[in-house]
Amino acid sequence: MTEDTLGIIGVEEVVEHEDGSATYTFHFEDETRDKIAEIGLEFILYCAIYKWDIRDALESLKKETDISD
Q: Which residues of the chain have pLDDT under 50?
A: none
Q: Is residue 69 part of a domain?
A: no
Domain-embedded: residue 42: yes
- For residue 4, being part of any structural domain is answered with no
Residue 42's Cα: distance from chain center in Å? 12
Please indicate, yes or no, if residue 51 is contained in any of the structural domains: yes
Per the structure, the count of domains in the chain is 1
Answer whether residue 16 is part of any domain.
yes
pTM strictly above 0.85: no
Do 32 and 1 form a contact (C-beta atoms < 8 A)? yes
In terms of residue numbers, what domain contains 60?
Answer: 10-64
Q: How far is CA 50 from CA 42, 54, 60, in A?
A: 12, 10, 14
Domain assignment present for residue 3? The answer is no
pLDDT at 18: 97
